[in-house]
Structure 1
Amino acid sequence: MKKYLLPILLFLLFQACSKPYQVENVERAFYYWKSDNWSFSEKEQKVIDTQKVSKLYVKFFEVEHNDLMGNIPVSKNNLSFYSNKKFSIVPCVYIRNEVFLESKKEELDLLADNIVFLINKKKKENLERVKAVDEIQMDCDWTINSKDNYFYFLKKIKEIYKKKVSCTLRLYPYKYPDKMGIPPVDKAMLMCYNLINPLDNKDKNSILDVNELGLYLNRQREYPLHLDIALPIYSWMQLFQNNEFTKVIYNDFDKIEPFLKPIKPLWFEVTKDITLSNVYLRIGDKIKYDKITAKQLDKAISTIKKNVILDKQVTVALFHLDDEQTKYFSHEEMATFYTLFNN
């Protein structure tokens, strides 16, 4: 009997120390990350309506570093929202990590000023028909070497904007806050995807591998910021020509599937010369297809619920709203990606 006593005591101790799952209300959201002139398509509008989406995280522009010109906010879309229902818009800014590796503090002061000015300008010009929201989100894959400058920049943004500032949070800094620091923002969006470098491990789904997710979310952790959750619903193809990676293609797998033959899990070989998305595919080219399924996401959500301590109110955002990506999921499947987070 004694040999069973220690495991039982450890189990009871774990149960006593574990914080009960407490999510009561889920705000439904999408990321909208297109990089051209756009407005909602009929199918995208239907998704918003059917899923009762109340918030969109929208990429307003990107920031790149140029040795001659400095840090340049680049707008890659022309916002044009037309919807029969009002929803909230959270302006998002994607900033390359090089910006913080290459910039001095005074350059970051100027960048923060420019970003807030441009966001307010775009909101005034393009968002008259949607709800105002007192939040902006910064998206950057910061590293240990860029952390100090990035956190300095976030403080400046908060100081200038005077409203809520959130940021994206990858799983590595989530798991290792002592090493990576806690970003000085009001809340963070935990990005539960893109866990694997596509070129480092060619045998795993680089967008979402549930086993890899479990390595980061391997026990309950109470992060010192409010956490929302982002999940992937997109898929992509990685093209290899002469065994060398060429580019990523996000859509059109259905169009070329008849001209592919499976060679091993995730991998296909092109059987006919064809043109796809202005890319010429030749016989013998290889394609790795990382596809996200409802079953994968259900398992991922189970792992998240078990190990990520969330508040009673949480926003769940799917990445991203696009005809070619949402068509692989039924409306019922997409609804479960939100409802599974409820008690």
Structure 2
Amino acid sequence: MKHKLHLILIAAIAIFYFAADGFADSARSDGSFLGYGQSFKRDSTNVSNAIYHWRTTFNPDSTELSFLRRHNVKRLYIRMFDVEYGEDYTSKFRNVTPTATTKFESAIPEGIEIVPTVYITLEALREMDDFSYRYAELIVERILAMARYNNCGEIREIQFDCDWTATTRHIFVSLCREAKEHLQQKGIELSCTVRLHQLREMAPPVDRAVLMLYNTGGLKSPKTRNSILDVKDVVPYLRNQETYDIPLDLALPTFGWGVKFRDGKFDKIVADGASDSLKENEYIRWERPTIEEILFVRQLAERVLGQSERGNILYHLDYSQLSNYTDDEITKLYSFN
């Protein structure tokens, strides 16, 4: 009941924000929409349910393989490695270097397209300034070598994930431009993630992007209700947003965690449901978006930006997290209205 009342309140806020462009006529208090300001057509042959895999070991268990089959998941975004600025174990000097490389202990499930993904830290990105051509080729070739070695099948797309800022955007743009040129020679597309704060910047020079509709609030702030997803944090970013320069898919959160505070200050993230003995000066803020919140935010984004031509993406393949949502709820997240 508490979550539903919160959602109704936020729906009212959204109506206020968007009243000027007719949003109020289409929004209902249950978070659904009567119609869109414009129609979005989709070729059903291009639609593929997708999900991220964000672990350092690829070894999906029977429940996760069953999830992929039940929900007809045909595209899997696998984090291959991170790119960080740290000590290079070969030279012992600080350098831009790959870390946390995923180990493949299971074969890729049959009939699933793999999109290799790399996470690039902001510190590493800064160090790439003036050397993006070099690092673009190194990153791309390492991704493709890993994909070949682990029998990932035909690679049609790779993805860069980076929380770039206004002051580092030019470096990320240069990195993407160089990588795209390198990939075009191989007939492979380049995509990137987009966070809400990046949405109003000009799109990077990639073929398509994925809008991350999660991690929307201040994780370390004790005033935050839910840092994973809170509608009131999303609405301001979409206000006055028109379209995006390139095709945009949506990534939706299906996970939760605990945020531990000590003496009113952020301490650490704890595993969802983990028992942690607390002292008097400590508490844990448990976070998990409800299905109503996720659907509302998805519909809000679709209202402003249009629906994805390829289908929605869930984050991420971990059945201990996914099991908090029913099969019917997962189907709703993947379905189109």
TM norm structure 1: 0.80
Q: Which of the residues 181, 186, 195 maps onto 1:170?
A: 195
Aligned to 2:306: 309
What's the % identity of the aligned pairs?
27
Query: 2:296 maps to which residue?
Result: 299
Asked whether the equivalents of residues 31 and 56 of structure 1 are also in contact (C-alpha less than 8 Å), the reply is yes
Query: Once structures 1 and 2 are overlaid, which stretch shifts more, 165-174 or 295-304?
Result: 295-304
Q: Does 1:105 align with 2:105?
A: no
Write out aligned runs for 1:1-343 (5 A).
18-23=37-42, 25=44, 26-35=47-56, 37-66=57-86, 68-82=93-107, 85-106=110-131, 108-126=132-150, 128=151, 130-162=152-184, 163-174=188-199, 176-177=200-201, 181-200=202-221, 202-219=223-240, 221-251=242-272, 253=273, 255-256=274-275, 273=277, 281-282=278-279, 284-310=281-307, 313-339=309-335, 342-343=336-337
Q: d(CA) in 1 for partners of 2:98 and 2:203?
A: 25
**CA 1:104–1:284 in 2, change beyond 3 Å: closer, same or farther?**
closer
SS where residue 89 of structure 1 aligns? strand
Contact 1:18 1:220 in 2 (8 A): no
CA contact (8 A) 1:93 1:139 kept: yes
Contact preservation (8 Å) 1:90, 1:137: yes
1:240 offset after TM fit, Å? Answer: 1.6
Unaligned segments of structure 2, at least 5 residues: 1-19, 27-35, 88-92
Unaligned residue ranges in structure 1 (runs of 5+): 1-8, 257-269, 274-280
- Secondary structure (helix, strand or coil) at the match of 2:310 reads strand
User: Number of residues paired by the alignment?
Assistant: 298
Match of 2:12 in 1: none
Per-residue Cα deviation, 1:218-272 (whole angstroms, up to 9, x for no partner): 3562211001110111111111233332211233x1x53xxxxxxxxxxxxx7xx
- The 2-side partners of 1:240 and 1:29 are apart by 34
In 2, the alpha carbon distance for the partners of 1:122 and 1:165 equals: 17
Q: Once structures 1 and 2 are overlaid, which stretch shifts more, 131-140 or 192-201?
A: 192-201
SS of equivalent residue, structure 1 residue 161: helix
**Is contact 1:40-1:82 (8 Å) kept?**
no
Is contact 1:226-1:310 (8 Å) kept? no
String of CA shifts for 1:266-304, please: whole Å, max 9, x gaps. Answer: xxxx7xx4xxxxxxx545521011112212112112212
Shift in Å, 1:202: 2.5
1:185-230 superposed Cα distances (whole Å, 9 cap, x missing partner): 0000011111112123623211100122122223562211001110
- Letter matched to residue 329 of structure 2: E
Q: 2:73 aligns to what SS in structure 1?
A: coil
Q: Which amino acid aligns with 2:181?
A: E
> Aligned with 1:54: secondary structure?
strand
Residue 153 of structure 1 aligns with an amino acid whose one-letter code is: L
8 A Cα contact 1:220 1:309, kept in partner: no
Distance, in Å, in 2 between the alignment partners of 1:322 and 1:334 is: 13
| CA RMSD, Structure 1 to Structure 2 (Å) | 2.5
Find the counterpart in structure 1 of residue 14 from structure 2. Answer: none
Change (3 A) 1:160 1:24: closer
Contact residue 222 and residue 266 of structure 2 kept, 8 A:
no
Deviation of 1:170 after TM superposition, in Å, equals: 0.9
Instruction: Name the TM-score, length of structure 2 as normaliser.
Output: 0.81
Report SS of the residue matched to 1:189.
strand
Distance across 2 between alignment mates of 1:169 and 1:39? 28
Retained in 2: the 8 A contact 1:191–1:229?
A: yes
RCO comparison, higher one (Cα < 8 Å, 6+):
1
Please state how far the C-alpha of 1:306 moved relative to its aligned partner: 1.6
